[in-house]
Structure 1
Amino acid sequence: MTSHEGPVSTTAATAATAAPSESPERAAKRRSATRGAFFAEFVDMFDIYLPTVILTPALIYFQPAGRLDPGLAAIFTSLVFVTTLVGRPIGAAVFGALADRVGRRRSTIISVTGFGVITLLIALVPGYSTIGIASYWVLIVLRFLDGICLGGGYTGALPLAMEYSTKSRRGLLGGIILAAFPLAYVVITLVGLASFALFPLAGPDSPYAVWGWRVPFVLGALLAFVLAIYYVRSVSESEIWEAAEAAKSEGTSQGGAGRPLLAVLRSRTFLQVFGMMTGFWLTQNLVTLFLPTTVLRNLVGLSNNQLTVALLVAYVCLVGSYIAAGVIGQRIGRRRFFVIAGVLIATVGVALMAVLVNGRGLPFGLVVLVVVAFSVVVTAPWGVVLPYITERFRTDVRASGFGLGFSVSVVIPSFYAFFLEGLGALMPYATAVLVLLALGGVLGAVGAAAGPETKDVDFE
Structure 2
Amino acid sequence: MQSTIASIKASEAPANPRSRVIFASLAGTAVEFYDFYVYATAAVLVFPHLFFPTGNETTALLSSFAVFGAAMVARPLGAILFGHLGDRRGRKATLVGALLTMGIATFLIGLLPTYEALGWVAPVLLVVLRLAQGFALGGEWSGAALVATENAPAGKRAVFGTFPQLGAPIGFIVANGLFLVIAALLPSGDPSRPSAVFLDWGWRIPFLFSSVMVAVGLWVRLNLVESAAFEKTVKRGRVTKLPLAEVLRTHGKELVLGTFYMLATYVLFYLMTTFSLSYGRAAADGTVPGLGYDYTSFVLMMIVGVVFFGIFTLASGPWADRWGRRRTLIWVTLAIAAFGLVWVPMLSAGFVGVMAWLILGFSLMGMTFGPMGALLPELFPANVRYTGSGIAYNLSSILGAAVAPFIAVALWRAGAGSPLWVGVYLSAMALLTLVALLLGTETKDVDIEA
1:377 matches 2:349: no
Q: Structure 1 residues 319 and 383 mapped into 2: Cα distance closer, same or farther (>3 Å)?
A: same
Match of 2:214 among 212, 217, 224: 224
Q: Which residue is equivalent to 2:346?
A: 356
TM-score (norm 2): 0.85
Match of 1:53 in 2: 41
User: 1:238 pairs with 227, 237, 242, which one?
Assistant: 227
Change (3 A) 1:220 1:441: same
Give the 5 Å matches for 1:302-451: 302-347=293-338, 349-357=339-347, 359=348, 362-413=349-400, 414-416=402-404, 430-451=419-440
| Structure 1 gap ranges (5+) | 1-20
Query: Partner of 2:86 in structure 1?
Result: 99
Which amino acid is 1:458 matched to? D
Q: C-alpha separation between the residues in 2 aligned to 1:128 and 1:344?
A: 44
Q: Which amino acid aligns with 2:197?
A: P
Structure 2 spans left out of the alignment, 5+ residues: 1-8, 283-288
Residues 1:215 and 2:198 are matched in the alignment: no
Preserved CA contact (<8 Å) 1:164 1:239: yes
1:126 Cα deviation after fit: 2.6
Q: Is the 8 A contact 1:116 1:222 kept in 2?
A: no
What residue in structure 2 maps to residue 14 of structure 1?
none
Q: CA deviation at 1:177?
A: 2.5
Q: Map 1:126-165; keep pairs closer than 5 Å.
A: 126-165=113-152
Residue aligning to 2:6? none
2:184 counterpart of 1:197? yes
Counterpart amino acid of residue 266 in structure 2: W
* 1:290 Cα deviation from its structure 2 partner: 3.5
Q: CA deviation at 1:241?
A: 0.2
In structure 2, relative to structure 1, the CA distance for the partners of 1:121 and 1:302 (3 Å cut) is closer
Partner amino acid, structure 2, of 1:280: T
Q: Given that residues 342 and 423 in structure 2 are in contact (C-alpha distance below 8 angstroms), is that contact kept between their aligned partners in structure 1?
A: no
Equivalent residue number for residue 40 of structure 1? 28
Structural RMSD (CA): 3.1
Shift of 1:206: 4.1
CA–CA distance in structure 2, aligned partners of residues 38 and 240 of structure 1: 20
What do the CA deviations read for 1:322-344 (whole angstroms, capped 9, x no partner)? 11111111111111111111222
Normalising by structure 1, report the TM-score.
0.83
May I ask how many residue pairs the two structures share in their alignment?
428
| Partner Cα distance (1:73, 1:409) in 2 | 26
Contact kept, 8 Å, 1:273 with 1:448, in 2: the verdict is no
Q: Which range is displaced more, 326-335 or 258-267?
A: 258-267
> Offset of 1:317 from its aligned partner?
1.3
Q: Deviations over 1:256-310 (max 9, x none)?
A: 5432112223421111112222233233333233344336854444443442232
Structure 1 counterpart of 2:137, one-letter code? L
Q: Distance in 1 between matches of 2:321 and 2:214?
A: 31
The aligned counterpart of 2:285 is none
Shift of 1:430: 4.8
Conservation of the 8 A alpha-carbon contact between 1:204 and 1:210:
no
**Equivalent in the alignment of 1:261:** 244
Identical amino acids, percent of aligned pairs: 25
Higher mean C-alpha deviation, range 141-150 or range 417-426 = 417-426
